[in-house]
């Protein structure tokens, strides 16, 4: 039996609801985006019913504490086909066991969920560290990113609290949406492809006049704080993997 979902959190929760309502036994969960029709398996397309989804989410809330709910949500943000299966199996396991079952790290789904959530949290933390704002001429701080996982919802409050007195935009170039803070609240924004292209390579006159100076000073600082006698490239790359270098001002040649 195949359960087909559209990839939203709602559809995932409805799949859990359907499984308990229909009791089909072992099912494999597939996401519409990656789905290839199969000849010998019956397919059940999950219908998104908000009230069912709510009921499942509430039920999870009663079974799990805040930390585990966050892990559940983080795993969802990983957006991989494997993560959806893990979430589905985890939810079914939690509902069919006694309270406290989430601590059973011997269960492969529990462990997988904890590990995937950890990966997402790590990516979130890396974004908090590696985002480098550029000040534009109209006094806006901009940064474009393409994280491995969809972490914008997770980093929003961090940047909102931290940069409360400056306008900023963080734009996910891979998923084509971004966050804009206007000194009051954060809102979601979408750019056209054209705008995305100009933003990823801003011209000199679009940037604030001080931007070049501070980027240069930061580059200098990065070099002079290094101790050449202790050079350890392996450790350096381990902490700052090469795929993040494109964000980093200190890795650009100015």
Give 77's Cβ-side CA count (13 Å radius). 23
The least distance separating another protein from the CB of residue 31, rounded to whole angstroms, comes to 25
Spatial separation of the C-alpha atoms in residues 100 and 65, rounded to whole Å: 10
By beta-carbon proximity to another protein, the closer residue of 2 and 173 is 173
Spatial separation of the C-alpha atoms in residues 70 and 68, rounded to whole Å: 5
* Candidate list 95, 180, 191, 218; residue touching another protein; CB under 8 A: 218
Range in contact with another protein (rule: CB under 8 A) among 31-39, 42-50, 130-138, 192-200: 130-138
Spatial separation of the C-alpha atoms in residues 94 and 138, rounded to whole Å: 51
The token duo for 29 is 């969960």
**Residue span 80-119 as binding mask against another protein, x where in contact by CB under 8 A, dash where not:** ---------------------x-xxxxxx--x--------
Spatial separation of the C-alpha atoms in residues 135 and 211, rounded to whole Å: 6
Binding flag, residue 188, another protein (CB under 8 A): no
The token duo for 137 is 């001429």
Compute how many other C-beta atoms are within 10 angstroms of the C-beta atom of residue 19. 23
**Residue span 45-74 as binding mask against another protein, x where in contact by CB under 8 A, dash where not:** ------------------------------
Give residues in contact with another protein (CB under 8 A): 101, 103-108, 111, 125, 128-135, 141, 143, 158, 161-166, 210, 213-214, 216-218, 220-222, 224-236, 238-240, 248-250
């Amino acid at each position: 039996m195949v359960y087909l979902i559209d990839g939203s959190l709602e559809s995932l929760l409805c799949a859990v609801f359907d499984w308990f309502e229909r009791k089909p036994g072992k099912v494999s969960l597939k996401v519409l985006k990656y789905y290839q029709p199969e000849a010998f398996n019956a397919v059940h397309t999950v219908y998104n019913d908000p009230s069912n989804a709510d009921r499942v989410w509430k039920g999870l809330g009663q079974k799990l504490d805040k930390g585990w709910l966050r892990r559940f949500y983080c795993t969802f943000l990983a957006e991989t086909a494997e993560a959806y299966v893990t979430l589905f199996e985890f939810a079914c396991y939690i509902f069919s066991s006694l309270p406290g079952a989430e601590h059973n790290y011997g269960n492969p789904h529990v462990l997988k969920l904890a590990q995937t959530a950890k990966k997402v949290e790590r990516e979130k933390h890396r974004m908090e560290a590696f985002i480098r704002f550029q000040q534009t001429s109209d006094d806006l701080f901009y940064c474009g990113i393409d994280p491995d996982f969809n972490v914008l919802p997770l980093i929003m409050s961090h940047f909102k609290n931290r940069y409360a007195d400056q306008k900023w935009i963080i734009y996910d170039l891979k998923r084509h949406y971004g966050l804009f803070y206007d000194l009051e609240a954060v809102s979601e924004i979408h750019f056209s492809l054209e705008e995305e292209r100009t933003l990823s390579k801003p011209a000199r006159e679009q940037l604030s006049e001080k931007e070049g100076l501070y980027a240069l000073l930061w580059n200098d600082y990065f070099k002079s704080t290094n101790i050449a006698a202790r050079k350890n490239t392996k450790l350096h790359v381990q902490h700052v993997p090469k795929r993040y270098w494109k964000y980093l001002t200190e890795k650009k040649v100015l």
